[in-house]
Amino acid sequence: MKVKLAKTAGFCMGVHRAMDLVLNEANKGEGPIYTYGPLIHNSQVIDLLKSKGVIPIEDIREIQGKKGTMVIRAHGIPPGEREILRSSGLRILDATCPRVARVQAIIRSHTRKGFTAVIVGDQDHPEVIGLQGYAEGKAHVIGRPEEVATLPETEKLLVVAQTTQDAQVYREIQKAVRARYPKAVIFDTICDATHNRQQEVKSFSGHVDCVVVVGGYHSGNTQRLVQVSEGAGLRTFHIEKAEELDRERLASMEVVGVTAGASTPNWMIKQVVQEIQGIRSRREARLGPWLRKVFKILMDSNLVVAFGGYSLSYSAEILMNRDLDFVHPGIAFLYIYAMHVLNRFLDKGASTYNDPAMACFYRRYRIPLMFSGILAILGSLAIAIRLGPSVFLIMSGLCVLGIIYSVPIVPLRRRRLFRYTKIKDIPGSKTLSESLAWATVISLVPLLEPSPPDSSKALVAFFAVFSIVYVRSALFDIFQAQGDLIVGVETLPITLGEKRTLLLLKSVTIIGGLGLLAAPLVGAVGSFSYLLLLCYGTLMMSILAYEKRWLYPGTSLEALVEGNFFLAGCLGFLWHHLA
Ligand code: SF4
């Protein structure tokens, strides 16, 4: 089944920020955390937050005598309630969305100047309740153009909208207000995130057979998305989780559009997309889903990344001007496979959120996967012995480091004294250690052999492998940031933030490309280096594909990123046979 995933699906900026703030706080483990009302309207996420000790409080009176941190959610709260929280002694973490805070500020400044505020929105919505508080009693809430007639006579009227209001309804209300109050001050306060999401659903019209909207049944913006989709004449299914998909009815479709409310996490969207892709459309040939399934199994089992390592090692051999054999790419394949498979079993459950299908695959094939991982280690060490005692020693050290990377190394008694008990806990260590390990196995270990490559060539190969793997590894960290944040793994995007990480990756790609461009000019390596520049071009394309939302994290984007390794191998093969 073909899926068209909306670029705007999932957490908006405000929800993203609120979740990051709360999860970062929960991962510190410094006492209880309360949220004033549920953080977002998604029962699965709320359950998950509860499992991390984040407790929603519905009534402000419940805070009496409590100690810990109180989070103000993205909707914001009235100033009176903020005052009560402040005087309660609880530490306050304000996750009010900056766009909601802007509307609050507009209302406060205008009502202080004598304006009467009109808030277009749902009377009972927490954001609207919060906004009303900033008007100090001078606010009216309306939801339909006809209600403009019920407003009082005034010279000074301010009109704002709840940030998730329907743009069309707000336009109609604005028209009615202008007709009755020509001097009214009207602000366009509907959030772009909401508007763009609704526009994108409308744009599905004529391109998909139906739309699946993923999100909480109590989430206002998800419900509105459903209404917009239905209003555009699209057959629409509203689901909260993948298990609710109507597979029978979807099988009669050919292309399914998927979008999600602002409170739907990536892992849920991904799960829904994977489920739909797995449904065989009655109009679709059998080959498509079958190929997708095979690719997914190869990805989940880490065979794709291991073959990628083989491919990269093969092209590094050419870059180092060595005689081609299967020994060096083979050792890279076995080492990378073993480390990826064995570390999956020690990842504290991040994959449960990032890729539930993969987590299930690992649970089901636990024994054979573990066994194959151990065999791969032994295989890589057996080859290393043949390459000399120094190679064997270094490879043994790298295997031990790779395993202890995810294992606590601080003794149990001392753990309370250290924030980081494993190498993996050190912020950004995953990306760095992975790229260093690949680059060492592929280009530095051969320097210890009886007939080593030229050291300048090995250094250029090290630089190339390091930069390509660094970008690949960090991109996957970005795709998996929500799950990593939940389990408290401080990967690069969690430490630096997504924007800065993407900037760093672009810089690494450009520096890597310039390095490969300069290396043949100073005689360090041959002209094959120029050909490898293509890999940096596709790396940059992968970064942009994610940043510009040309592709959503999932099979296609992961295939594009992993494809860089195979491109390197193919370029090496062509160079070897044609040059
Ligand atoms: Fe903020 Fe817009 Fe999200 Fe509301 S929808 S929380 S205003 S980003």
Note the pLDDT tens digit of each residue in 208-250.
Answer: 999 999 998 888 789 889 999 999 999 999 999 889 999 989 9
Tokens of 158: 């301010």
Would the CB of 194 count as within 6 Å of ligand 1?
Answer: yes
Rounded distance, CA 136 to CA 152, Å? 17
The owner of tokens 């409170």 is: 263
Helix axes 389-404, 366-386, angle to 10 degrees: 150
Q: What per-residue confidence (pLDDT) applies to 511?
A: 97
**Residue 169 to residues 131, 166, 172, 182, Cα–Cα distance (Å):** 19, 5, 5, 19
Single-letter amino acid, residue 273: V
Cα 358 to Cα 363: distance, rounded to the nearest angstrom: 9
Alpha-carbon span 135 to 197, nearest angstrom: 29
Q: If DSSP codes are grouped into helix, strand and coil, which group holds residue 491?
A: coil
Largest Cα span, the chain: 93
- Angle CA(429)–CA(430)–CA(436) in degrees, nearest 5? 85
Q: Of 13-17, 118-122, 303-307, which range is least confident?
A: 13-17
**424/259: higher pLDDT:** 259
How many Å lie between the centroid of ligand 1 and the Cα of residue 247? 32
Is 15 near ligand 1, meaning CB less than 6 Å away? yes
Does the CB atom of residue 191 touch ligand 1 within 6 A?
A: yes
CA distances from 240 to 40, 247, 333 (A): 13, 15, 40
> Strand, coil or helix: what is 56?
strand
Binding site membership of 99 for ligand 1 (Cβ less than 6 Å): yes
- If you average pLDDT over residues 422-451, what whole number do you get? 88
The percentage of the chain sitting over the pLDDT mark of 70, rounded to a whole number, equals: 94
- Whether residue 285 is predicted with pLDDT greater than 70 in this model: the reply is no
Q: Are 122 and 220 in contact (CB under 8 A)?
A: yes
Dist CA 462 CA 453 (whole Å): 12
DSSP reduced 3-state for 212: strand
pLDDT attached to residue 395: 95
Contact 460, 399 (CB under 8 A): no
The secondary structure of residue 68, as a DSSP letter, is S
Ligand 1 atom at shortest distance from the alpha carbon of 194: 5
291 or 450: which leads in pLDDT: 450
Q: Which helix (DSSP H) or strand (DSSP E) does residue 545 occupy?
A: helix 528-547
Q: Note the pLDDT of residue 454.
A: 94
Lowest-confidence pick of 11-25, 100-114, 484-498: 484-498
Q: What is the mean pLDDT of residues 159-179?
A: 93
Residue (of 290, 247, 266) closest to 554 by Cα position? 266
**415 has a pLDDT exceeding 60:** no
> What pLDDT is stored for residue 334 in this prediction?
97
The closest-lying atom of ligand 1 relative to the alpha carbon of residue 100 is: 7
At 348, is the pLDDT very low, low, confident or very high (cuts 50, 70, 90)?
Answer: low
The position carrying tokens 């009227």 is 157
Q: Could you tell me the pLDDT band of residue 439, with boundaries at 50, 70 and 90?
A: very high
R_g of the chain, CA atoms, integer Å: 28
Is 75 close to ligand 1, i.e. is its CB under 6 Å away? no
Active-site residues, by number, are 127
Residues making up the chain, counted from first to last? 579
Choose one of 72, 122, 194 to mutate for the ligand 1 pocket test, by most ligand atoms within 8 angstroms of C-beta.
194
Our mutation pick for probing the ligand 1 site, out of 39, 106, 163, counting the most ligand atoms within 8 A of Cβ, is 163
Please report, as a single letter, which amino acid is at residue 479: F
Report the 10 Å Cβ neighbour count for 235: 15
- Predicted pLDDT of residue 413: 63
Give, using CA atoms, the residue closest to atom 1 of ligand 1. 14
Q: Which residue has the tokens 């870059």?
A: 319
Ligand 1: which of 8, 11, 12, 73 to mutate, most ligand atoms within 8 Å of CB?
A: 12
Q: In what order do the strands lie in the sheet with 236-239?
A: 2-5, 255-260, 210-214, 236-239
* Buried residues in 348-366 as b, exposed as e (16+ CB within 10 A): eebbbbbbbbbbebbeeee
Token pair, residue 36, equals: 């004033």
What angle (nearest 5°) sits at the alpha carbon of residue 558, between those of residues 554 and 564? 165
Q: Which of 217-226, 297-306, 384-393, 567-576 has the lowest mean pLDDT?
A: 217-226
Each residue's pLDDT tens digit, 501-527: 999 999 999 999 999 999 999 999 999
Give strand pairing partners of 350: none
Residue ranges in 59-125 assigned as alpha helix (H): 79-87, 98-112
Q: What phi and psi values does residue 157 have, to the nearest 5 degrees?
A: -120, 130
Question: Is there a contact between 317 and 448 (Cβ–Cβ < 8 Å)?
Answer: no
- Listed range (28-32, 297-301, 361-365) with the worst mean pLDDT: 28-32
Decide: 197 in ligand 1 pocket, CB within 6 A: no
Take residue 92 and report the two structure tokens written for it: 């306050």
- pLDDT of amino acid 486: 73
Cβ of residue 539 lying under 6 Å from some atom of ligand 1: no
CB of residue 10 inside a 6 A radius of ligand 1: no
Ligand 1 pocket, 164 CB below 6 A?
yes
- The Å distance, Cα 63 to ligand 1 centre, comes to 26
Token pair recorded at residue 369: 């996967």
Q: Are 104 and 125 spatial neighbours (Cβ–Cβ below 8 Å)?
A: no
The neighbouring-strand residues paired with 93 are 71
Ligand 1 atom showing the smallest separation from residue 99 Cα: 7
Separation CA 131–CA 125 (nearest Å): 10
Q: Look-up: residue for tokens 């449904």?
A: 279
Q: Which atom of ligand 1 is nearest to the CA of 18?
A: 6
Q: Are the CB atoms for 197 and 8 separated by under 8 Å?
A: yes
